[in-house]
Amino acid sequence: MPFTRAELEAAADNVIPDVIAPGLRVLFCGINPGLYSAATGHHFARPGNRFWPALHGAGFTPRLFTPAEQDQLPGYGLGITNIVPRASARADELTPAELSAGGAALSAKVAEYRPAWLAVLGIGAYRAAFARPKAAIGPQPDRLGASGVWILPNPSGLNASYQLPRLIEEFARLAAAARG
C-alpha cells in the first residue's frame, strides 16, 4: 500500500507493539521502525527489506511470511522488538543517548522474557546501545542475562554490503545454533 510523504511523516509518532512471548527461541531486535513500518503497524514492512525472505530462507519459518503475519511468529518460537521504539526515516537519525537508553530497556525486556537468543539486526546499533565497539557479526562472547546474543546484519535494502544470499547464510548460522 503506497503512502504519501505526509502519511509517512505523520507515522513518526506511531509505536509498533513488540511481537514477544516468554521463552522464545529467538527474539529478533531491529534498530528502530522505519516510517513505512510505523505507518503499517508491522515490523520490517518496507518493500525491499529482506528480513522476511532471510527468515524463511534460513529455515526459521516454513514459508515466506508477510509483515502482516508477524503475530504468527511466537508459534515458531520467534519474536520481534526494537532497540529504539521511535520511528524514523533512517536509523542514523537516532541519537547516541536514544541507543544507550534503548539498550538498557532491551536488557530489561530480555531479562523478563528470557529468549534463548537475542538477535540484534545491525552491528552499529548494537555497538552503540551496549558500548561494545569491537563487536562483530555472529555470536557474542557476552550474554544478556540467560540469553545468548547474536549480531546479524541489518536487513534493510539500504545495507548493500549484504545481499539476500549472504543475509540468509548469516540467519542460517543462528538458526542452526537456535536448534541446539
Instruction: Look up residue 160 and give its DSSP letter.
Output: T
The angle formed by the CA atoms of residues 167, 128 and 8, to the nearest 5 degrees, is 70
The reply to whether the predicted model has a pTM over 0.85 is yes
If phi > 0 it is left, if psi is from -120 to 50 it is alpha, else beta; for residue 114 that is left
Segment 117-129 shows an average pLDDT of 96
Work out the average pLDDT over 69-93: 94
92-to-17, 117, 121, 125, 157 alpha-carbon distances in Å: 22, 25, 14, 9, 15
Helices (H), the chain: 5-10, 35-40, 51-57, 96-113, 123-130, 164-179
Q: How confident is the model at residue 38 (pLDDT cuts 50, 70, 90)?
A: very high
